[in-house]
Chain A
Amino acid sequence: MNCSDVRSLVHAHLDGELDLMRQVEIDDHVHQCQACRAIYDSQQMLQSALRADGMYFTAPPRLERRVRAAVHSAATPTRRWHVPLSPWFGVAAAAAAIVIVAVIARPIVSQRMGGDQIAQEVLSAHIRSLMASHLTDVPSSDQHTVKPWFAGKLDFSPPVVDLKDVGFALVGGRLDYVQNRPVAALAYRRGEHVINLFVWPSRSNADVPETFDGHQGYNAISWTRDHTTFWAVSDLNAAELREFVQLVQHRAGA
C-alpha cells in the first residue's frame, strides 16, 4: 500500500469500517511513514475533539415533557392531531413514508391478514407483563400446578409443558387479553430473557405454519395447529426462540 492509498483510507480506518487485513496494512504503513502518521494523528485528534462531551446537545427536560404531551394527545383518538405544517405536508409525509419504509424499515411481509395487528397486541402484552411486574398470576415451575389453574378461568385448556431440562424454565402462567378475548399466557425464562407463550383457540380450522416476526428488538413466532393459536414473544435471539418453539411443539404435541 502506498501513501496515497493509505491517505484515502485513513477515515474508513478511524471509523472502524475496514476489514482486518487492510486495517493492519494501514497500521503498519502509518507506523513506518512519518508523513502519513502526521495525517493520521491529526485526524484522530480531530475525531476526539468532535466526540468530546461538550459537542453533544442534550435535549432539555422541557422538550421531553413537550414531546410526551404531544404524543399523548395525538394518540388519543378523540382529539385531532396537532400538526402545524404546511398544506403540502401530506406530500412530504407520503414521500418520507415511502423512503422510510423502503430504505430503513426492511419490511417483513405478514403472511396473514390481521397478523400485524395481532403481533402488535401480543408484543404490547409481552412488554406490559415485564413492566408492571405482573408476569404471572400463578407463579409455579410445575406444569401440573399451572395447567389446572386455568380451569374455570378460560373456556379452553392450554397445553402446559415444562422445558427446564432443556434450558427453558417455566415460571408460571397468567390470564391476558388479546384479540378481544381472554388468553392463556405462559411465562418461561432463558437466562435473563423472558419468553411469553400466548395460547388461545383458533377461530378457523386451518393449520398455519410458523411465521416469524421481528419488532423493535423483539422476536415473535406464531403458528396454529389443531384449532389452537400460539404466539411466542421474547427479546431472545431468533435462533433460540425457534428452538423454544420446536420444543413446545414436540412436547405439547402442538
Chain B
Amino acid sequence: MPPSPFEQAVLPHLNAAYNLARWIMRNDDDAEDVVQDAYLRALRFFGGFRGDDARAWLLAIVRNTCYDFLRRHRPQELADTFDEEMHTVIDGSQTPETLLLRRADQLMVRQALEMLPLPWREVVILRDLEGLSYKQIADVAGIKIGTVMSRLARARARLQQLLASGATGEVAR
C-alpha cells in the first residue's frame, strides 16, 4: 500500500515533533505519548490543511497536545502565571560572559534550557533547534512576532545568566 498524502506530508517531520514535545514535556515517555496523540489529531484535521508548511502545522498541533497533557496531568507547571514583565531581564545590564560561556559544556546548556519557563523555552527550541523564522514561531505558538522577539531576547539573556552562574559555581568548587 503506497503511503497516503498524510503520511507523505507529515511523517517526515517526526523528529521535529518529538524534539519539541521532549523539550516541553521534559521526559521521554510523555513526549512519545504526546507525539502519538498529536499525529492522530493531525490525521483528523488533515482534510482542512491547505498550507504548504506541514512542519509548522504539525508543530502547532504538537504544542497544543503538550499543553493539554500538562493541563490534565501536571497543572502546577502551567499554574505559575507567567508574567512577562516579572521575568524581564533588562538587556542593558547584560555583561559580556564570553569566557564563562566557553566553559559551559553541553550538559550545562541542556540543564539551563530545561530550567527556562515554558513560554521562553519553546521559542528557543523553535528558533535555535528547529530553525523556524519569527513568523513561523508566531504561528505555531499563537503569539505576535513582537512577543517572539522579546521572549527570545529574555530567554537568551537568562540562559547566559544561568550558564555564567553555573560556570562560576564550577570554578568556585
Q: Does B39 lie at the interface of the complex (its beta carbon under 8 Å from any beta carbon of A)?
A: yes
Contact bitstring B107-145, A, C-beta under 8 A = 1, else 0: 001100100000000001001110001100001101000
Residues of chain A having any CB pair with chain B under 8 Å:
4, 7-8, 11-12, 15, 17, 35, 38-39, 41-43, 45-47, 49-52, 54-60, 63-64, 66-68, 70-71, 74-75, 81-86, 89, 92-93, 96-97, 99-101, 103-108, 116, 120, 123-124, 127-128, 131-132, 214-217
B interface, how many residues as a size bin? Answer: 35 or more
Which A-chain residue is minimally distant from B136 (CB atoms)? A104
Please measure, in the bound complex, the distance between the C-alpha atom of A216 and the C-alpha atom of B8, giving whole angstroms: 9
B40 in contact (CB, < 8 A): yes
Known: A59-B35, A104-B56. A45 touches B11 (CB 8 A): no
* Residue among B7, B49, B163 facing the most chain A CB atoms (10 A cut-off): B49
- The number of A-B residue pairs with CB atoms under 8 Å apart is 191
Q: Residue-by-residue, is B18-54 near A (CB-CB < 8 Å gives 1, otherwise 0)? A: 1100110000100110011101110111011111111
The minimal Cβ–Cβ distance linking B87 to chain A, given in whole angstroms, is 16
CB distance from B33 to the nearest CB of A (A): 8
Among A54, A83, A105, the residue within 8 A (CB) of B40 is A83
The yes or no answer to B169 lying at the interface (CB within 8 A) is: no
B52/A66 in contact, CB under 8 A: no
Which of B8, B53, B98 lies in contact with A45, CB distance below 8 A? B98
